[in-house]
Structure 1
Amino acid sequence: MDNENFKNISMLQNTTFDDTADELWDNFTHFLKATIMGSIIVASILGNLLVIVSVMRHRRLRVITNYYVVSLALADMLVAMFAMSFNFSVEVFGRWLFSYTLCDVWNSLDVYFSTVSILHLCDISIDRYYAICKPLKYSLHMTKKVVALMLVNSWVSPAFLSFLPIFMGWYTTEAHQEFRRQHPDECVFVVNKAYAVISSSISFWIPGSIMIYMYLQIFKEANRQEKEMFNRHGAALLLHANNTNGDMLSNSGGSSKTLTLNEINQDLHHTPTRERSISRMKREHKAARTLGIIMGIFILCWLPFFLWYDSVSLCTTCECPHLVVAILFWIGYFNSTLNPLIYAYFNKDFREAFKNTLQCAFCSLCQRPPSDLNYVDNRRPSIRYEDRTRSVYSETYLKHVDRRCSDFGSTL
Structure 2
Amino acid sequence: MDTLFMNKTDVDNVLLCFPNQLDSCPRLQRFSVLKGAMYGFMLAAILMTVFGNLLVIFSISHFKQLQSPTNFIILSMALVDCLLGCLVMPFSMVRWVEGCWFLGDFFCQIHSSLDMTLSIASILHLCLVSVDRYMAICDPLSYRMKVTNGSVAVWIVVTWLFSCLFSFGIVFSKVNLIGLDEQMLNSCVGNCVLIFNKEWGVIAPLLNFYIPGTIMSCLYLKIFHVARKQAKMISDRTAVGLAGEKNQVSEQRERKAAKTLGIVMGVFLLCWLPFFLTTVIDPFLGFSTPVDVFDALIWFGYFNSMFNPLIYGFFYPRFQKAFRIIILRYVCRFTNSSNLVLQ
Residues 129 and 145 of structure 1: CA distance in aligned 2, closer, same or farther (over 3 Å)? same
Partner of residue 267 from structure 1, selected from 239, 247, 263? 239
1:179-219 deviations in whole A, cap 9, x for unaligned? 87953432122211222222111211011000000011111
Contact 2:328/2:334 (8 A) holds in 1? no
Q: Please report the RMSD computed on the Cα atoms of aligned residues, expressed in angstroms.
A: 2.9
> Which stretch has the larger CA shift, 44-53 or 74-83?
74-83
Residues 123 and 371 of structure 1: CA distance in aligned 2, closer, same or farther (over 3 Å)? farther
Partner of residue 306 from structure 2, selected from 337, 345, 354? 337
1:158 has 2:163 as partner: yes
Partner of residue 73 from structure 1, selected from 70, 78, 93? 78
**Correspondence 1:3-402 to 2 at 5 A:** 26-175=31-180, 183-230=188-235, 232-233=236-237, 267-268=239-240, 286-313=256-283, 315-364=284-333, 366=335, 368-369=337-338, 372-373=341-342, 376=343
Residues 344 and 226 of structure 1: CA distance in aligned 2, closer, same or farther (over 3 Å)? closer
Distance in 2 (CA, whole Å) between partners of 1:78 and 1:47 is 12
> Which stretch has the larger CA shift, 337-346 or 60-69?
337-346
Which residue number in structure 1 is paired with residue 6 of structure 2? none
Residues 289 and 187 of structure 1: CA distance in aligned 2, closer, same or farther (over 3 Å)? same
Distance in 1 (CA, whole Å) between partners of 2:182 and 2:151 is 41
The offset of 1:165, in angstroms, is 1.8
Contact 1:58/1:371 (8 A) holds in 2? no
Residues 149 and 320 of structure 1: CA distance in aligned 2, closer, same or farther (over 3 Å)? same
Contact 1:104/1:167 (8 A) holds in 2? yes
Which residue number in structure 2 is paired with residue 8 of structure 1? none
Name the amino acid aligned to 1:320: T
Aligned residue for 1:372, secondary structure, equals coil
Q: Which structure would you say has the larger Rg?
A: 1
1:229-251 deviations in whole A, cap 9, x for unaligned? 45x45xxxxxxxxxxxxxxxxxx
Name the amino acid aligned to 1:46: F
Residues 183 and 216 of structure 1: CA distance in aligned 2, closer, same or farther (over 3 Å)? same
The offset of 1:309, in angstroms, is 0.8
Distance in 1 (CA, whole Å) between partners of 2:76 and 2:340 is 21
Contact 2:170/2:176 (8 A) holds in 1? yes
Distance in 2 (CA, whole Å) between partners of 1:214 and 1:192 is 32
Structure 2 spans left out of the alignment, 5+ residues: 1-28
1:306-325 deviations in whole A, cap 9, x for unaligned? 01111002x14351222221
- Provide TM-score, normalisation by structure 2: 0.83
Aligned residue for 1:346, secondary structure, equals coil
Aligned residue for 2:69, secondary structure, equals coil
The offset of 1:46, in angstroms, is 0.7
Contact 1:173/1:192 (8 A) holds in 2? yes
The offset of 1:78, in angstroms, is 1.1
Residues 338 and 304 of structure 1: CA distance in aligned 2, closer, same or farther (over 3 Å)? same
1:145-179 deviations in whole A, cap 9, x for unaligned? 22112111111111222001211111213545798
> Which stretch has the larger CA shift, 299-308 or 354-363?
354-363
Distance in 2 (CA, whole Å) between partners of 1:285 and 1:28 is 44
- Provide TM-score, normalisation by structure 1: 0.69
Distance in 2 (CA, whole Å) between partners of 1:307 and 1:150 is 28
Aligned residue for 1:166, secondary structure, equals helix
Residues 281 and 70 of structure 1: CA distance in aligned 2, closer, same or farther (over 3 Å)? farther
Distance in 2 (CA, whole Å) between partners of 1:362 and 1:212 is 38
Distance in 2 (CA, whole Å) between partners of 1:102 and 1:180 is 17
Matched residues, number: 314
The offset of 1:25, in angstroms, is 8.2
